Amino acid sequence: MSAPPTTPVLRTVSSMRRFRSTLPGSVSLVPTMGMLHSGHMSLIRLAAEQTDSIVISIYANPTQLATAEERASYPATLEADVAALERLDDELRRDGAARIKAVFAPTDEEMYPYLDSTDVASGLGAFVTISPLAGRLEGADQPAHFNGVATVCLKLFNAVKPHKAYFGEKDFQQTVVIRRLVQDFLVDTDVVVGETVREDDGLALSSRNAYLGSRRRKVATVLWRALCAAAKIYQDGETRRGEILACSLTEAKREQSLQEQMNGCDRARFEILYLELSDLDSMEDVERVNPRKGALLSGAIRMLPLEAATGAENSGLRNGADWIRLIDSIVLRPTRGL
Ligand SMILES: Nc1ncnc2c1ncn2[C@@H]1O[C@H](COP(=O)(O)OP(=O)(O)OP(=O)(O)O)[C@@H](O)[C@H]1O
Ligand SMILES: CC(C)(CO)[C@@H](O)C(=O)[O-]
Ligand code: BAL
């Protein structure tokens, strides 16, 4: 019996382009930063339903990660990621044919030939800016983030030339930024958005969860709980910004003060970065939700490093020493017909 085919891992734009020219039928791209989990896999499954050939990109884009610390916190898991993709592909095979055709994992030199790796903020070379969208919500305290995301996605689209590209709703603002990029730069790719995959207790899957450890993991559901509380009063008929956000904030602050009152070796403290109600297209503040349109309810928290990790507990990657930024969102769907 012959050995199963291995997925090619392409490290240069030229090898990606050569390979792309051999792919039959419709081609999809699923961009990721690696450390693959079931959220990524659900996007790939969706791509397999809708297209013939799938390319996964794995690239921890330095220009969207604000600090050297964040850049260093992306462990290289390429081998494990490729193995996980091969297992998934065994399931996805149709008529004996692989659906996942290649992994595109370019080097920094390929993607940013002018970038000084010690100072990515200097921004040498060409960058996309998308204003004012990129400065709102996630962009407010990370001003270069979405310029980095849009820039790398444009490069990925140009290298892979996909018919469709897949993104997760968890990063809702990112999907709006990418749609705007595609529209304004006349990119010939359809943007498809997949639902957020969650743990049983509601926590959105995220590569960063691996850093939480068990104690912070339990408390991290607070963001989802805060969003759900507000979504419920919207479903019950509330449309005012003040009331909806106050409901979220009360839930988050209740958990926050509970943690503050506990001992250092028992608690998991966090900061509330924002809880927001925004227009689904512009990301501008919404004062009253139009029940025919709906709105975006989103938030971010930052889990503080563990103060005192006990030897017995699972304290996550890097022993609980990192600040972990977590984001989540709920789309408040229209409650009335158009
Ligand atoms: N839980 C999820 N469900 C569905 N899609 C997801 C989920 N988490 C991430 N994605 C999507 O997968 C793609 C790649 O995301 P990325 O590699 O940054 O993973 P991540 O888990 O969001 O990582 P990080 O924790 O660093 O933000 C993005 O389009 C993202 O929205
Ligand atoms: C889309 C993306 C792969 C661009 O680097 C990244 O922002 C992500 O993983 O969501
Ligand atoms: N998953 C969103 C991109 C980021 O974490 O930088």
Mutation probe of ligand 3 site: the residue of 30, 37, 64 with most atoms within 8 A of C-beta: 64
Ligand 3 in reach of 171 Cβ (< 6 A): yes
* Residues 131-140: tens digit of each pLDDT: 999 999 999 9
Reported residue count of the chain is 338
* Residues 223-238: tens digit of each pLDDT: 999 999 999 999 999 9
d(CA 166, CA 185): 18
Closest ligand 3 atom, residue 208 Cα:
5
Let me know if 211 is exposed, middle or buried by CB neighbors in 10 A (0-12, 13-18, 19+): buried
CA 298 to chain centre: 13
Where b means 16+ CB within 10 Å and e means fewer, 146-155 reads bbbbbbbbbb
- Ligand 2: distance of its center to the CA of 40 in Å? 11
Question: Average pLDDT of the chain?
Answer: 93
82 or 2, which is more confident: 82
Ligand nearest to the CA of 178: 2
Which residue type occupies 193?
A: V
- What ipTM did this prediction achieve? 0.97
Alpha-carbon torsion, ordered 305, 307, 313, 319, to 10 deg: 40
Active site residue 37: no
Ligand 2 in reach of 35 Cβ (< 6 A): no
- Ligand 1: distance of its center to the CA of 171 in Å? 7
Secondary structure (3-state) at 40: helix
Locate 79 and state its tokens: 């081998």
In the predicted model, is pLDDT for residue 244 greater than 70?
yes
Ligand 3 in reach of 206 Cβ (< 6 A): no
pTM: 0.96
Q: Quickly state the pLDDT bin for 6 (edges 50, 70, 90).
A: confident
Locate 235 and state its tokens: 């479903």
* Residues 21-70: tens digit of each pLDDT: 999 899 999 999 999 999 999 999 999 999 999 999 999 999 998 776 67
Would you report the helix, strand and coil content of the chain in percent, each value rounded to 5?
40, 20, 40
Strand partners, 228: none
Prior bond of 132 cis (ω within 30°): yes
Ligand 3 in reach of 110 Cβ (< 6 A): no
* Residues 250-270: tens digit of each pLDDT: 999 999 999 999 999 999 999
